[in-house]
């Protein structure tokens, strides 16, 4: 008679053991898997051919770390505000805040600490201009969380600005002058990724578009138009930069011009996933597609040889 009574606590303990811990939930809530986006801070130093210089590499690494802190703070605020919408989403409902593992008050408090540390450290460890870039990023992203995400077209622009500001941050932290070509490629490349992300979301949720209000404003054909246009402009401006740099290169191989091939192929490879509706998380796609990784490595090598040989 005693055995059945002892089984219940054991089962309850099993349930408690299966429930995610608060610490694990906090780690998931700051989305460390999305820190790969912040690698974009190295783009400007790489394009300038100075990424290996100590006085450039050091501030750029600091900018990378601070963008990780600031972006994680923004994610915590966003998920705290979007609890109800996330609970209606087929996958976002499993996020730590939406599932109740992490209390909203704790998420918001941690967000404030992370953002404050990032801004103060930017002034103390690099240049005040980096704090300006980080502050602009935080303000735009919080405005997005509080309402701009519901405004068609503006939501695309704000999310794309997050990628662009990451690229700008590396140059600002290292005191580099950013070229017009770099800014154009970064801007339209960012818009391409964001439009592809929205297209994938539209394909995934289908008629359940209430999970993101702006999806009700977009059609698949419109989002195809946006990512086609932005991909075309990004490829054109990158090619103009690469061939302009190629005229100044020494040696027998115009590596910057050669880098156009893996760049365009990478865009086309990514577009395959966009067209299939599987590009909802660019950072995850970039890490799980071996062909895309190989093209990215080939691009990095060729563009590096180009800028170092110029």
Buried b (16+ CB within 10 A) or exposed e, 244-268: ebbeebeeeebbbbbbbebbbbbbe
- Closest of 122, 35, 115, 120 to residue 74, by C-alpha: 115
* pLDDT of res. 266: 92
Instruction: Return d(Cα 95, Cα 29) in angstroms, integer.
Output: 7
pLDDT category, 5, cuts 50, 70, 90?
A: very low
Give the pLDDT confidence score for residue 157 in this predicted structure: 92
In angstroms, the CA 245 to CA 256 distance is: 7
Residues 16-65: tens digit of each pLDDT: 445 678 888 888 888 888 888 899 899 888 877 788 888 899 999 999 99
Locate the domains of the chain by residue range.
Answer: 29-178, 179-310
Question: Chain centroid to CA 240: how far?
Answer: 25
In this prediction, residue 87 carries a pLDDT of 78
**pLDDT for 251:** 58
pLDDT at 212: 64
Q: pLDDT per residue over 191-239, tens digit each?
A: 998 888 888 878 766 544 455 677 778 888 898 899 899 999 999 999 9
First to last CA, the chain: 85
- Give the model confidence (pLDDT) of 134-159 as tens digits: 999 999 999 998 888 888 899 999 98
Binned at pLDDT 50, 70 and 90, residue 250 comes out as: low
Q: How far apart are CA 224 and CA 82, in angstroms?
A: 27
Q: Average pLDDT for residues 242-270, to the nearest whole number?
A: 82
Confidence of residue 68 (pLDDT cuts 50, 70, 90): very high
Q: Can you read off the two tokens belonging to residue 258? A: 């050669």
What are 183-204's pLDDT values in tens digits? 899 999 999 988 888 888 787 6
- Complete DSSP assignment for the chain: -HHHHHHHHHHHHHHHHHSPPHHHHHHHHT-GGGGGGGGGGGHHHHHTT-TTSHHHHHHHHHHHHHHHHHHHHHHHHHHHHTHHHHHTSTTGGGSTTTTTSS-HHHHHHHHHHHHHHHHHHHHHHS-HHHHHHHHHHHHHHHHHHHTGGGSTTHHHHHHHHHHHHHHHHHHHHHTPPPPHHHHHHHHHHHHHHHHHHHHHHHHHHTT-GGGSGGGGT--HHHHHHHHHHHHHHHHHHHHHHHHHHHTT--SS--HHHHTHHHHHHHHHHHHHHHHHT--S-HHHHHHH-HHHHHHHHHHHHHHHHHHHH-
What's the pLDDT band for 14 if we cut at 50, 70, 90? very low
**pLDDT of 80-104, one tens digit each?**
888 877 777 677 777 888 887 888 8
What's the whole-number mean pLDDT along residues 105-122?
93
Q: Superfamily for 29-178?
A: UbiA prenyltransferase (1.10.357.140)
């Amino acid at each position: 008679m005693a055995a059945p009574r002892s089984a219940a606590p054991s089962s309850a303990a099993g349930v408690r053991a299966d429930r995610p811990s608060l610490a694990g939930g906090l780690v998931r809530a700051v989305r460390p898997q999305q820190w790969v986006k912040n690698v974009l801070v190295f783009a400007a130093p790489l394009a300038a051919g100075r990424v290996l210089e100590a006085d450039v590499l050091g501030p750029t690494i600091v900018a990378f770390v601070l963008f990780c802190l600031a972006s994680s703070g923004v994610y915590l605020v966003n998920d705290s505000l979007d609890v109800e919408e996330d609970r209606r989403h087929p996958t976002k409902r499993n996020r730590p805040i939406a599932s109740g593992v992490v209390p909203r008050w704790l998420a918001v408090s941690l967000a404030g600490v992370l953002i404050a540390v990032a801004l103060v450290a930017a002034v103390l460890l690099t240049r005040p201009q980096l704090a300006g870039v980080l502050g602009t990023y935080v303000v735009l992203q919080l405005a997005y969380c509080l309402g701009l995400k519901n405004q068609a077209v503006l939501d695309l622009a704000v999310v794309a600005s997050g990628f662009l500001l990451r690229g700008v941050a590396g140059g600002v932290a290292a005191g580099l002058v950013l070229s017009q070509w770099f800014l154009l490629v970064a801007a339209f490349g960012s818009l391409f990724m964001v439009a592809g992300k929205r297209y994938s979301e539209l394909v995934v949720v289908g008629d359940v578009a209430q999970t993101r209000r702006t999806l009700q404003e977009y059609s698949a054909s419109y989002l195809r138009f946006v990512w086609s246009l932005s991909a075309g402009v990004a490829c054109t401006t990158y090619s103009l930069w690469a061939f302009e740099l190629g005229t100044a290169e020494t040696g027998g191989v115009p590596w910057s011009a050669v880098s156009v091939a893996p760049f365009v192929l990478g865009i086309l490879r990514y577009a395959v996933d966009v067209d299939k509706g599987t590009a909802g998380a660019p950072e995850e796609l970039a890490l799980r597609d071996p062909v895309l990784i190989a093209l990215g490595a080939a691009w990095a090598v060729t563009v590096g040889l180009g800028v170092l040989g110029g």
